[in-house]
Every structure is written in C-alpha cells, then in structure tokens.
Amino acid sequence: MARNIILLGPPGAGKGTQAERLGRTYGVPKISTGDMLREAVAAGTPLGRVAREVMEAGRLVGDDVMVPIVEERLRRPDAAAGFVLDGFPRTVAQASALDRMLAGRGGVTVLQLVVPEETIVARLSGRRVCAACGANAAPGGHEATCGRCGGGFVQRADDGELVARERLRVHEAQTAPLVAYYRRRPGFTAVDGSQSPDAVERELRDAVAAGAPVPRR
Ligand code: AMP
C-alpha cells in the first residue's frame, strides 16, 4: 500500500522532524521543498537565485516555480511507494496541482500539526540548525556541533523574529486555508504539535495506522 503522507502546519510546528521520522518508519523519502530551495540557494543555481530573496523576506516562492519541482521529484523511483511531504502544498493552487499529480497513485494521509502562535515564535527564534546538513540542534543548545555530520550550528536566515512573524502571517493567509481543503477527506487528522517530539510521533503513527488511506475525492 502506498504511504503518501502530507504534513501541514505553520513554520516551526515540527514538520521537518516528524517528516524525517515518518519517512524512516515507513521507508519512504521525506520531500521538503524548503530543504530543496535551501540547497539551490547554497549551490547558487538559477532556482536558488530566484528563491533567495523571497525566502529571506518570509514570503512564498511562486506556484509556477514550485509545482514543476515537486512534480519532477515525485516522479523519481524512490517516491513510487510513497513519500512524506514537508512544506508542500502551501497554497490551494499547489494542493489542487498535487491532486492531479497523485491521480492513480493511491490515497493520501494528511496530518496537521497544531501549535499555538506564541509557542511557534519562541521555537523559531530559539531554533538552531546545522550549517552543513540542515539538521536541527537539540532545543536548549547543549550540543556544540551537529551529531550527524559535525557541522556548526547557525540560526536559519528566515528564523529571526521579524521574518518569522511574516512567515506566520503568510501561513495564515495562504496555507491555513488548506485545512479546509483537506479536512473533510477521510485521511485527515489533526494532532497537538506542542507535545514532545516522541509523543507527537506516536500520535501521527496512530493516525496513519487508523486511517489506511482511501482514494482521493
Ligand atoms: P520551510 O523550510 O518549509 O519553512 O520553507 C522555507 C521557505 O521556503 C518558505 O518560507 C518559503 O519562502 C519557501 N518555500 C518552501 N516550500 C514552499 C512552497 N511549497 N511554496 C512556496 N514557497 C515555499
């Protein structure tokens, strides 16, 4: 059975962490559009040049740019048995494009991480990520270097308080409506994302187990 999983939730809700865990559990790739864009920025590709300024301002890269990137990624063989999408879709236009891409590929499970805004702002402004591989540092900042690759920790360019607030505003305006788009589908579940990562992971796994995906509408 295909494990097609979409994670929804504001920036800082824990989508990246949980996407990685679920991907490992189900043996499917985590597909993070934010990671793909950051790699393009770091490599200085044409996409990176387009994306950099938009990302640093906390706004969204255009649907016309994002949809083909995801379409190409989902066509790769490692995503044939499923995937965990982190950060896509972010607009209703992206969600309906995704529906078209997934036609005939089995159902989707849509998991929403719900976290209060003040918790999010506190998390984002305290978040440190590895400059080399993007892994999150453990909250509290006790590790000096990344346990995965030995890189140093930095604040993400778009995690400063002002940009974080803009990302939340953009999320409310453009991404939050996706909950209404998906809510009535049988594969949709909302989970309290303010719990510990382990507790959130347990609830997400339960939701995946309970809602064997059903065909899209
Ligand atoms: P994230 O790591 O998911 O928080 O994404 C970081 C930034 O990348 C976002 O604030 C956007 O500027 C951009 N981005 C990531 N995914 C998308 C998407 N699906 N559509 C538009 N912009 C995106």
Residue 155 CA: distances (Å) to CA of 19, 171, 178, 216:
21, 20, 28, 39
Average pLDDT for the chain = 92
Residues paired with residue 83 on neighbouring β-strands, in sequence order: 4
Q: With a cut of 60, say whether residue 87 has pLDDT above it.
A: yes
Residue with tokens 């059975």: 1
CB 83 within 8 A of CB 31: yes
pLDDT band at 5 (very low <50, low <70, confident <90, very high): very high
Q: Using CA atoms, how far apart are residues 33 and 67, in angstroms rounded to an integer?
A: 10
Task: Examine the residue annotation and report whether 15 is marked as an active-site residue of this protein.
Answer: yes
The pLDDT score that the predictor gives to residue 1 is 64
Q: Using CA atoms, how far apart are residues 217 and 110, in angstroms rounded to an integer?
A: 13
Distance of CA 191 to the CA centre of its chain: 15
Q: With a cut of 80, say whether residue 140 has pLDDT above it.
A: no
Among protein residues, the one with the nearest Cα to ligand 1's atom 1 is 34
Q: Using CA atoms, how far apart are residues 198 and 181, in angstroms rounded to an integer?
A: 28
Q: With a cut of 80, say whether residue 192 has pLDDT above it.
A: yes
Q: With a cut of 90, say whether residue 201 has pLDDT above it.
A: yes
The pLDDT score that the predictor gives to residue 217 is 42
Secondary structure of 123-148 in HEC code, one letter for each residue: HHHHCCEECCCCCECCCCCCCCECCC
pLDDT in tens, 68-81: 999 999 999 999 99
Complete domains list, the chain, with CATH? 3-114+161-210 (3.40.50.300)
Least confident of 51-65, 157-171, 193-207: 157-171
Q: With a cut of 80, say whether residue 139 has pLDDT above it.
A: no
Q: Using CA atoms, how far apart are residues 115 and 123, in angstroms rounded to an integer?
A: 11
Percent of the chain with pLDDT over 70: 96
The pLDDT score that the predictor gives to residue 177 is 95
pLDDT in tens, 88-111: 999 999 999 999 999 999 889 999
Give the mean model confidence (pLDDT) for residues 111-131: 89
The pLDDT score that the predictor gives to residue 136 is 87
Closest by alpha carbon to 119, among 182, 183, 194, 179? Answer: 194
CB 95 within 8 A of CB 182: yes
Q: With a cut of 80, say whether residue 142 has pLDDT above it.
A: no
Least confident of 100-104, 125-129, 186-190: 125-129
Q: How far is the CA of 53 from the centre of ligand 1 (A)?
A: 12
Rg (CA), the chain: 17
Cis ω for the linkage preceding 29 (within 30 of 0): no
Distant-in-sequence, close-in-space partners of 213: CB < 8 Å, separation ≥ 6: 1, 2, 3, 4, 106, 107, 108, 109, 187
Residue 25 CA: distances (Å) to CA of 41, 44, 106, 134, 190:
30, 33, 19, 20, 20
Q: With a cut of 60, say whether residue 212 has pLDDT above it.
A: no
Q: How far is the CA of 43 from the centre of ligand 1 (A)?
A: 17
Least confident of 62-76, 128-142, 166-180: 128-142
The pLDDT score that the predictor gives to residue 215 is 42
Among protein residues, the one with the nearest Cα to ligand 1's atom 11 is 60
Beta carbon of 156 within 6 Å of any ligand 1 atom = no
